[in-house]
Structure 1
């Protein structure tokens, strides 16, 4: 009896020590550099937004917050890297619909589990795509463009940032929704794709509002519809796909902050609070709105549930379009 009691006391003492150590580490955090890992090249939309967040989060936490770019394989290289790091609050991933929505569907051998290997912190923002066509395309509305596609399905083409990317899948979802056929031409990024859209080498592209907007504003391409549930503040005169006759259609680009799995709850809460407060400052909200993005209120478990829904949605599209990258 005495030995059993002693063993119980020892287990309780060990558990208390571990709890105290975790609490102490959380209380001391942050006492070194926090890295926001962007799994894409510097200069893109994900990178630019991450750098603004790093600046604001650093000021809020009185810490040194830096951005580290680890591009490769459609964002999966940097994402896997974060998944293998300690869940100590010093390494955060700037994830996206690509890394945690479409990648689990298009890669049969993805080197991480988008759900089990991460602690969801908060969605940063959502950005709609805009469907645009070359000026020579004889259509000024989505309905008119669909009529052209149904009349001559082999004549028209659409560009994407690459096979299996979010804007590729957004277009594939539209093809299924509208019951049309259009030839896919993958590019290595939105820059060269937009140049060829302007030049008429391809006819249509779905791309985030922030990068297409300058071409639309200058009249170099025609915007037919946006893929969000509501119209974009940057393009208030452009209807949504749903408004244009396809209710329920939605294909948003989103960015979100995630940490490695099994982060202690007190630390997760402190980090999430810091990020949410940073995102809701007037300066940050204004910056995101200028990029055509909207700050999100989805955080914690709700973000985790959103990731599951996104994977389910895009895997159906991938299966129907028979897309595989390995």
Structure 2
């Protein structure tokens, strides 16, 4: 097991609210596409985060904002707009002017898992945005209190009771990975949804829940402290930072769920602007400071094109939909 880990640092941030320019989604309002492209960037480029300050998505956005701002030559204020697993920020971005001045760090779970838990009018569709670039992936790991003495899926199956599994919320990768594993492994269980990884992990530490599926960066400090035991990860292959822990797939259960993040712009943003933004983010990805950030926070680069992100996420949504239907899993009920 990797022993070097620096906890996701506390970031001093002011959670402001941003009112994105109200305009018809997918058009430039009073600007023509040519004018927008010629003048870009025309002042600060706002990067909205659909989650609270201090979490993984927020820290990733802030780690990128500095070098991207330097490349573009304008400021990039990071504004937190939490709500509905990022849906609030996404819906506001849909109605922002398509001039490249408003961006968002969007999570894969919002586009590939949450639609399975909410009504169609509440769902976020990745095709309703221009995706500038992929950023990184973050694996989920199933952990239990070390005092339980469990270290394998068979241990859970033989626990002799209905297990409670904490999740990071309804419509999240944490919920989906847990629901699928418990269903496929035929482990009697009951979901206990929390609002985020920290309270879910705290529930395991305090024995209010038997297990929890949380992101590796959140769990690693407690794993290294010996307070929780990792049972499986939910990636396709073993995580490089936790390479002595098997995946659910190699344990015999086809449960592959990861978190990923990308940069989104309003639909209709001119290609010239998207290209300039992609170049700026690519330059940021190459900085040593950002690469160190990825290593410190156990993130795997996924710096692919916007088209590849859309393909990855739509494929994931289709696969997750098939699995939830096949195994009669209702994510909306949280059970």
* TM-score category, normalised to shorter length: 0.7 to 0.9
Q: Which structure is larger by alpha-carbon Rg, 1 or 2? A: 1
277-286 vs 43-52, greater mean Cα deviation: 277-286
**1:181 & 1:316 partners in 2: Cα distance?**
22
* In 2, Cα distance between equivalents of 1:201 and 1:255: 30
TM-score by length of 1: 0.86
CA–CA distance in structure 2, aligned partners of residues 31 and 264 of structure 1: 14
Check 1:276–1:181 CA distance in 2 against 1; reply closer, same or farther (3 A cut).
Answer: farther
- SS of the aligned residue for 1:321 comes to coil
* Deviation larger for 108-117 or 236-245: 108-117
* 1:219 lines up with 2:223 in the alignment: no
Instruction: Label 1:148 to 1:131 Cα distance change in 2 as closer, same or farther (>3 A).
Output: same
* Distance change >3 Å, CA 97–CA 113, structure 1 → 2: closer
Alignment of structure 1 residues 21-40 onto 2, 5 Å: 22-40=33-51
Give the aligned partner of residue 322 of structure 1.
330
Distance 2:112 2:317 in 1: 5
Matched-pair contact (CA < 8 Å) for 2:42–2:101: no
Query: How many Å separate the matches in 1 of 2:130 and 2:229?
Result: 40
Structure 1 residue aligned with 2:117 = 106
SS at match of 2:100: coil
CA distance in 1, matches of 2:55, 2:88: 16
Alignment of 1:128-277 (within 5 A): 128-145=139-156, 147-148=157-158, 152=160, 154-246=161-253, 248-277=254-283
Q: Which residue does the alignment assign to 1:17? A: none
CA distance in 2 between counterparts of 1:21 and 1:139 reads 61
Aligned residues: 302
Which whole-Å CA distance do the structure 2 matches of 1:104 and 1:69 have between them? 22
Assess, with a 3 A threshold, how the Cα gap between structure 1 residues 112 and 272 changes in structure 2: closer, same or farther: farther
Q: 2:228, 2:307 → 1: CA distance?
A: 40
Any unmatched runs of 5+ in structure 1? Answer: 1-19
Q: 1:317 to 1:69 in 2, by over 3 A?
A: farther
> Which stretches in structure 2 are left out of the alignment for 5+ residues?
1-30
Superposed displacement of residue 299, structure 1: 1.4
| Superposition TM-score, scaled by structure 2 size | 0.84
